[in-house]
Amino acid sequence: MNYNNFKFLSFDCYGTLIDWESGIWNAFQPLIHFNKRDDLTREKVLRNFALLESEQQKKTPSMLYPEILFNVHMQFSKQHDLKSNESLDKEFGDSVKHWPAFPDSADALRILKKNFKLVILSNVNTKGFASSNRWLGVEFDEIYTAEDVGSYKPTLANFDYMFENIEKKYNEKPQSILHVAQSLFHDHVPAKHFDMTTVWIDRQNLDNGGNWGATKVVDNLPKPDVIFKDLISFAEETAKN
């Protein structure tokens, strides 16, 4: 791929830059410990989370992400016969600020910042991303969140919002944007609807039979243009151009 063809890199944040699966799993521990349950494995919890989160976002597209998480925590508790309370539900809802960055994110983003404008297209709220941005080591040129759009990816409106704003501010067409993301469900499916060129940061190793984790399973797999196992490998490859 000739990366010189692109002026912008648009990123999904959670799963690509921020290790949301570890963050989600850690945030469930108070509930699991409170109920003294040893049958709820990481794989089981993340798989259930993926389904609950996507359904809640579809049902209430204007709901802010902390409230989405609050409701997911309550629903998860009921489904698994767990005792919860408002304090535990709220703690989970406010947990994004504790989700860690992947070890390579800051280094990779600093490399990429030298040659591209960096754009966030995220499914969290503005305040939530600001708390995560502290760990990422760069200033993004544009930040578009679900709170700005009023819907959650994979809804096409989120990509339309990005296209419209970049064209308005920079007079650039969607073809100048390279979309970089881990999630096939949230990002590559809608991006390919618009014929975007995409980079798959396959942190879950799905291309080699890995686990879907906290991402909803996609039956008809999209075809990303290039695949990397981590972000630093992608960044180093672009630097060769």
Asked if 108 contacts 138 with a C-beta cutoff of 8 angstroms, the reply is no
Report the distance separating Cα 145 and Cα 128, nearest Å. 9
Task: Report the DSSP pairing between strands 117-122 and 8-11.
Answer: parallel
Edge-to-edge order in the sheet of strand 177-181: 142-145, 117-122, 8-11, 177-181, 197-201, 226-228
Report the distance separating Cα 125 and Cα 131, nearest Å. 10
3-state secondary structure (DSSP) of residue 148: helix
Q: Tokens 């809802």, residue?
A: 93
3-state helix, strand, coil in the chain (%, to 5): 50, 10, 35
Q: Tokens 């591209």, residue?
A: 116
Q: Tokens 């509930």, residue?
A: 31
Phi and psi at residue 226, in whole multiples of 5°?
-155, 150
Among candidate residues 12, 19, 89, 187, the one labeled active-site is 12
Specify whether 12 is catalytic.
Answer: yes
DSSP conformation letters of 54-89 = HHHHHH-TTS-HHHHHHHHHHHHHHHTT----HHHH
Report the distance separating Cα 108 and Cα 116, nearest Å. 12
Which residues have a catalytic role annotated? 12
